[in-house]
Amino acid sequence: MTDVFTTLQWSDLIFLLEGAWKTIQISVVSILLGTLLGMVFGWLMSLNNKLITFAVMAVLDVFRSVPLLIQLILFDSFVAIAGFPLPAFWSGTIVLIIYTASLVAVVVHSGIDAVPPGLRAAARCLGMSYWQEMRHVTTPVGLRTAFPSWLGVALATIKDSALVSAIGYVELLRASQILNTRTQESVKIMLLVGLIYFIISYPLSRLGARYEQRQKS
Amino acid sequence: MIVLENLHKSFGPLEVLKGINLTVDKGEVVSLIGASGSGKSTLLYCINALETIDGGKVTVDGVDVHAKGTDINKLRQKLGTVFQQWNSFPHLTALENVALAPRVVSKFSRKDAQEIAAKQLTHVGLGDKLNHYPSQLSGGQQQRLAIARALAMEPTYMLFDEATSALDPELVGEVLDIMRMLASEGMTMIVVTHEMSFARDVSDRVAFFKKGVLAEIGAPEDVMNNPQDPDLQRFLSTIG
Amino acid sequence: MDYQFHWRPVIQALPDLLKASLVTLQVSLIAMALGLMIGLVLYFFRASQLRVLRGFGSTWVEIARNTPSLFQIFVFYWGLGEFGIFLSSYTAVVAALTFNCAGYMAETYRGGFNAVNPGQDKAARTLGMTRFQSMRYVVLPQVLRAIYGPMTNQFTWVILASSLGMLAGLRELSGETQYFNSRTFRTFEFFAATAVIYYLIAKMALLLMALLGRPLFKAERAKS
Ligand SMILES: Nc1ncnc2c1ncn2[C@@H]1O[C@H](COP(=O)(O)OP(=O)(O)O)[C@@H](O)[C@H]1O
Ligand SMILES: [Mg+2]
């Protein structure tokens, strides 16, 4: 009788790297679209309209107050019962996009808030329109305070993409679990997977730390 | 010509401007003095439409500032504004600070806008600081930068809101000198100030504000040497 | 959409779900409390003169912050088997969340200590306080105020993250929900109810932290 468990092979490494590639795909799409959507929400909150600010805040707060895992399962089951089931990649990524957007909105809102009102008034006094001022003053000035926090959100999205495995999508973490059960070489696999996540995340977190240090000096 | 007719402005229940009438002719320098909270800044902001108004009318060269169809952005190019806080754009060099509005508002090419900027910066004595960032400039230099930035739009009028109040005492002089220079060049100016010597020496007329009312206005020698209003007498004696 | 919603099974399971919420709270509180303490130690390690301690502290913090928390849970739950260590779901989840919280709190403490003006410690020492007294009575109270906001966020985060316990077989709120789901196949209804419960728990945690924090911010309130 042959052993059902096999040892790690080169093909397993390829399998893991494929998973890593999918993790990167989910992350990039979620960060890009989530940032765009979050910018719209953050901008809406920064308008001088208390009702809009409150409404947007309250809705986005729900996404930040319910576990992402629950949101993934809920959305996945919802599209199924609503009769338009999506591939796991998309039902997972859509949830991640909205979740990321709810975090980016806060970052964008506080970034805009951090721009001194006098600066914006001065720009308008030179004859700039609302959008010219937004584009040439508020965006570049707000970006300097918002950028490190945005990096933090992007980092969180990369790590949270691991949860998409819970609805059956084989990204990096899920790939490692599949190998785990087959080969029983969990330590090697876990080390490898941890290393891959680390390699993806660490440059971003260093960048954030460096940037904050530079801001201070 | 800037004309204020029976201008009213309230913030909620607080009536800040209670029917102001004032005409400022081309080439004139008018100083506004008065206690803090009397409505001087609000008056300036009603002229450049940073604030809305509740009654009366403001016209600049015959254009009703607060009428619905008025192009505020176009109008503001005529009205250079300098605030107490200099509000330099922190992400841009001195040259870029001044060149930004000519480029994006007046649609000059980048090169032409920078030429204009260099000229104006030199005019206010910052010709050697073109590539400095605001963080590398003193408060007085940043305030001169703000003046150059306004001048680059070739305004017909300049509004100053306590342009020297936030400066360290030793830096006040250099900014006042630039304002004197502008006045001597014939710029039309409305200047909110606590610098009594500037009001006396430079203005054609001085207006005293009291709780939202223009209590006294006239030539500086009349208003400042021979004040009629008892509050103005007290104000002048305290501010020295 | 011809799906029929059935809420009755959810209502019947509600008492069990609420009981499981207590497990969620317990896991979160333990992980948070341990994380707060270990995080402080890690902060001091990273600020220490000794390279070994600095290296240890930094390694912990960087791993905690740069790998997914679900991965960390899996490591504690399955990854230690080769060393003959088999943790229960409960222990593994608490350990993983503690590991994560400690890493994040170490960073938060760093920000908090940096926010306190060095002049404060100098002033205390010139009054004759010992290093420990200055730390205890002057510096730490100010650090605590500086980190209170981030700490509150961390607490909310750990409550929500404890839901990952479900994927390591823990019967906390999510795990319990999954258990009922597997018996009734009312996925949407069960997880919708659970989402509401999490939302309420998160809001209660915020309220609790705000109340606990009140004495800390007496000076700020007196100003206004
Ligand atoms: N945006 C605002 N909202 C409410 N009250 C305001 C606002 N701006 C100014 N005020 C009030 O209007 C009054 C006049 O202010 P201001 O024009 O700034 O006076 P000054 O410039 O003479 O010191 C003050 O009592 C001030 O508190
Ligand atoms: Mg004022």
Tell how far the Cα of B83 is from the centroid of ligand 1, in angstroms: 14
What is the mean predicted confidence (pLDDT) over A43-67? Answer: 94
CB contact under 8 A, A121 and B87: yes
Reported as half-sphere exposure (CB side, CA atoms, 13 A), residue A155 has a value of 23
Q: What is the pLDDT of residue A209?
A: 84
Would you say residue B185 has pLDDT above 60?
yes
Query: What is residue B240's predicted lDDT score, i.e. its pLDDT?
Result: 61
pLDDT band, residue A1 (cuts 50/70/90) = very low
Is A22 within 8 Å of A3 (Cβ atoms)? no
Give the CATH fold of the C8-223 domain.
MetI-like fold (1.10.3720)
Average per-residue pLDDT in chain C?
92
CB pair distance less than 8 Å for A190 and C65: no
Instruction: Kindly calculate the radius of gyration of chain A based on its CA atoms and give it in whole angstroms.
Output: 21
- In this structure, the dihedral spanned by the alpha carbons of residues A106, A110, A112 and A116, taken in order and rounded to 10 degrees, is 170
Q: How far is B107 from chain A (nearest CA, A)?
A: 11
CA distance C217 to B202: 51
Span from the CA of A126 to the centroid of ligand 1 (angstroms): 22
* Facing residue for B104 by CB, picked from A118, A121, A128: A128
Q: pLDDT, tens digit, for every residue of A87-142? A: 999 999 999 999 999 999 999 999 999 999 999 999 999 999 999 999 999 999 99
Ligand showing the shortest atom-to-Cα distance for residue B162: 2
**Confidence bin at C3 (pLDDT 50/70/90):** confident
pLDDT mean over C153-170 = 96
Stretch A181-190: mean pLDDT? 84
- Indicate the pLDDT class of residue A16, thresholds 50, 70 and 90: very high
Q: How do residues B65-107 score in pLDDT, each as one tens digit?
A: 999 999 999 999 999 999 999 899 999 999 999 999 999 999 9
- SS3 category, C87: coil
SS (H, E, C) chain B: CEEEEEEEEEECCEEEEEEEEEEECCCCEEEEEECCCCCHHHHHHHHCCCCCCCEEEEEECCEECCCCCCCHHHHHHHEEEECCCCCCCCCCCHHHHHHHHHHHCCCCCHHHHHHHHHHHHHHCCCCCCCCCCHHHCCHHHHHHHHHHHHHCCCCCEEEEECCCCCCCHHHHHHHHHHHHHHHHCCCEEEEECCCHHHHHHHCCEEEEEECCEEEEEECHHHHHHCCCCHHHHHHHHHHC
Range from A128-132, C36-40, C123-127 carrying the lowest mean pLDDT: C123-127
> Which ligand has its closest atom nearest to the C-alpha of B161?
2
User: Does the pLDDT at position A216 exceed 70?
Assistant: no
Listed residue (B158, B141, B12) closest to B86, CA to CA: B141
Chain A contact present for B144, CB below 8 A: no
Residues A23, A194 contacting (CB under 8 angstroms): no
DSSP label of C164: G
**Secondary structure E strands in C137-203:** none
Q: What is the CA radius of gyration of chain B?
A: 18
> Does A186 touch chain C if contact means CB atoms closer than 8 Å?
yes
Q: Within an 8 Å CB–CB cutoff, is residue B187 touching chain A?
A: no
Residue whose Cα lies nearest atom 10 of ligand 1: it is B11
Residues paired with A211 in a beta bridge: none
Residue A152, pLDDT above cutoff 50: yes
In angstroms, the separation between the Cα of residue A198 and the nearest Cα of chain B is 33
C window 12-51, beta carbon within 8 A of A: none
Contact (CB, 8 A) for A124 and B50:
yes
- A10-216 folds as MetI-like fold (1.10.3720)
Query: What are the residue boundaries of the structural domains of chain A, listed by start?
Result: 10-216
Please report where in the chains the tokens 């859509």 appear, as a residue.
A94
* pLDDT tier for residue A48 given thresholds of 50, 70 and 90: confident
Q: Residue B231 C-alpha to ligand 1 middle, in angstroms?
A: 20
pLDDT of residue C222: 78
Q: What is the ipTM of this complex?
A: 0.92
Rounded distance between C-alpha atoms, residue B40 and residue B32, angstroms: 7
| Calpha distance A137→A143 (Å, rounded) | 10
Within 8 A by CB and 6+ apart from C28, the residues are: C97, C155, C158, C159, C162
Specify burial of residue B132 (Cβ count, 10 A radius: 0-12, 13-18, 19+). Answer: middle
A122/B81 CB distance under 8 A: yes
Condensed to tens digits (0 to 9), the pLDDT of residues B18-56 reads 999 999 999 999 999 999 999 999 999 999 999 999 999
Paired strand residues for B29: B189
Confidence of residue B57 (pLDDT cuts 50, 70, 90): very high
- Chains adjacent to B (≥3 CB pairs closer than 8 angstroms): A
Q: Where are the domains positioned within chain C?
A: 8-223
Instruction: Residue C167: list chain A partners with CB under 8 A.
Output: 69, 166
Nearest residue (by CA) to ligand 1, atom 2, is: B11
Residue to mutate (ligand 1; options B20, B33, B36, B41; most atoms within 8 A of CB):
B41
Q: Which residues of A touch B77 (CB under 8 A)?
A: 126-127
Q: A200 with A20: CB under 8 angstroms?
A: yes
CA gap C189, C194 in Å, rounded: 9
Burial annotation A73-94 (CB, 10 A radius, 16+ → b, else e): bbbbbbeebeeeeeebbebbbb
Beta partners for residue B33, in sequence order: B208
Which residues on chain C are in Cβ contact (under 8 Å) with A85? none
Six token digits for residue B214: 């223009």
Instruction: Give CA–CA dist C62/C80, Å, rounded.
Output: 20
pLDDT above 70: residue C1 = no
Choose, out of B48, B98, B100, B120, the residue to mutate when testing the contact with A (most A CBs < 10 Å).
Answer: B100
Nearest CB partner across the interface for A126, out of B85, B90, B150: B150
Cα A37 to chain centroid, rounded: 12
Q: Which two tokens stand for residue A96?
A: 């991640």
The 3-state DSSP class for residue C60 equals helix
Q: How do residues C72-102 score in pLDDT, each as one tens digit? A: 999 999 888 778 889 999 999 999 999 999 9
Q: Which residues pair with B160 in a beta bridge?
A: B82, B191
- Whether A49 and chain C come into contact, CB under 8 Å, resolves to no
B89 vs A: CB within 8 A = yes
C160·A197 Cβ contact <8 A? no
Least CB-CB distance to B89: which of A119, A129, A132? A119
Confidence of residue C224 (pLDDT cuts 50, 70, 90): low
Question: Phi and psi for B53 in degrees, rounded to 5?
Answer: -120, 160
**Which residues have CB under 8 Å from B154's CB, separation 6+?**
B77
C173 reaches A (C-beta below 8 A): no
Question: In chain A, what residues touch C63 (CB-CB under 8 Å)?
Answer: 194, 198
Give the pLDDT score at C121. Answer: 87
| Domain annotation for chain B: domains and CATH numbers | 27-38+68-202+215-239 (3.40.50.300)
Nearest protein Cα to ligand 1, atom 3: B11
Q: Is pLDDT at C197 greater than 50 in this prediction?
A: yes
How far is the C-alpha of C91 from the C-alpha of C76, rounded, in Å?
A: 9
Q: What is the mean pLDDT of chain A?
A: 92
Q: Tell me if A123 and B101 make a contact (CB, 8 A cut-off).
A: yes
Average pLDDT rounded to a whole number, residues C34-56: 96
Percent of chain C with pLDDT over 90: 74
In the structure, which protein residues have their CB atom closer than 6 angstroms to any atom of ligand 1? B 11, 14, 16, 34, 36-42
Residues of chain B contacting A127 with CB distance shorter than 8 Å:
73-74, 76-77, 101, 105-106, 153
Residue A3 has pLDDT above 90, yes or no: no
Q: What distance in Å separates the CA atoms of residue C224 and residue C218, rounded to the nearest whole number? A: 11
- Give one DSSP letter per residue of chain A, joined into a string: ---S-----HHHHHHHHHHHHHHHHHHHHHHHHHHHHHHHHHHHHHSS-HHHHHHHHHHHHHHHHS-HHHHHHHHHHHHHHTT----HHHHHHHHHHHHHHHHHHHHHHHHHHTS-HHHHHHHHHTT--HHHHIIIIIHHHHHHHHHHHHHHHHHHHHHHGGGGGGGT---HHHHHHHHHHHH--HHHHHHHHHHHHHHHHHHHHHHHHHHHHHHH-
Of A119, A129, A141, the CB nearest to B73: A129
Asked if C74's CB is within 8 angstroms of A197's CB, the reply is no
User: In sequence order, what are the beta bridge partners of B161?
Assistant: B192
Chain B residue at shortest CA distance from A121: B50
Mutation target to probe the B interface, by most B beta carbons within 10 A, among A120, A126, A215 is A126
